[in-house]
Amino acid sequence: MNELATVYNFYIDMRTAYKAYDEFYQRVLEEGTLFVRGKVAEVTDAARNEREKGKLIIQVEDTLAGKQRRIPVDMVILSSGLQPRHDAKEVGKLFGISCSMDGWFTEKHPKLDPVATMTEGIYIVGCAQGPKDIPSSVAQGAAASARVLDKILQKEVALEPIKATVDQEKCSGCKICNGLCPFNAISFIEDDKVSYINPALCQGCGTCVAACPAGAISGTGFSNEQIIAQIDGLMLKNLEMTAVKKRKSET
């Protein structure tokens, strides 16, 4: 005759964050799992009575009942915490992707683009972004694989039109921009003593444009002349509207 196992789950806080997780939690309760709110202080095999002999003893404070409990069990399964790799930030610098304050790699957008990064062609899935369960990791892995396959089937990659370019006549070769680019798109040409921006890697963030002391770098569609022209246009429009309002008030 098979004997049903009694399962204890020791927890401090319980959150059902994902879709259908609350239904899963309710089903586990209905199947007889015993949830004990309290942090386990000790797991020992030191028996105090006949009932505890040959068992592992869980010493825990049941915060809901307000008392200490010793629960003999046959098996203990530890739910260990996850932490990012110690070299995550160094790896992020190599691939031009950023990390959160906790050290996990950050995605482009948690809802609209949860597997892509700010560097085109690099995707992050699963526990690289933070602690995740198996279904979520598998779903993200499938999504990233589909994105990569789509790139391969295209045969040609359509790039964003906004890129930074270097006017080599103005470039002084100071190399300030080389270390600032988050996408490693800027290299230094030793023979010409000027910097060069790889358009395939550049994401048009504008960091190098703002940092260049010689003003040798400009972004497509955002040159000084174009920005000044936009400002002039806005000021002219404002003057025209002011004049119209003045005529209306006089009449």
Percent of the chain with pLDDT over 90: 20
For the record, the structure tokens of 241 come out as 């509207």
On average, the pLDDT of the chain sits at 87
Q: Band the pLDDT of 142: cuts 50, 70, 90.
A: very high
Task: Round to whole Å and give the CA distance between 111 and 62.
Answer: 38
Q: Band the pLDDT of 146: cuts 50, 70, 90.
A: very high
For the record, the structure tokens of 169 come out as 């006549």
Task: Round to whole Å and give the CA distance between 240 and 14.
Answer: 62
For the segment 202-244, what is each residue's pLDDT rounded down to a tens digit?
888 888 988 888 888 888 877 778 888 888 888 888 888 888 8
1-10, 122-131, 139-148: which has the minimum mean pLDDT?
Answer: 1-10
Inter-residue contact 105 to 85 (CB < 8 Å): no
Check residue 199 and give its pLDDT: 86
Q: Which CATH architecture group holds 165-237?
A: 2-Layer Sandwich (3.30)
Question: If you search the block for the tokens 């799992």, which residue do you land on?
Answer: 33
Question: Does residue 1 surpass a pLDDT of 60?
Answer: no
For the segment 56-97, what is each residue's pLDDT rounded down to a tens digit?
999 998 898 888 999 999 999 988 888 999 999 888 888 878
Angle in degrees, CA 215, 219, 221, rounded to 5: 125
Tell me the DSSP string of 36-53: EES-EEEEE---SSGGGT
Task: Round to whole Å and give the CA distance between 78 and 139.
Answer: 25
Check residue 250 and give its pLDDT: 76
* Residue among 190, 196, 188, 187 nearest 164 (CA): 196
- Put simply, whether the predicted model's pTM sits higher than 0.75 gets the answer no
Q: Band the pLDDT of 2: cuts 50, 70, 90.
A: low
* Residue among 241, 191, 186 nearest 209 (CA): 186
Domains in the chain: boundaries: 8-73, 88-154, 165-237
Question: Does residue 200 surpass a pLDDT of 60?
Answer: yes
User: Which pairs from 65-71 meet CB under 8 Å and 24+ separation?
Assistant: 69/36, 69/38, 71/8, 71/36
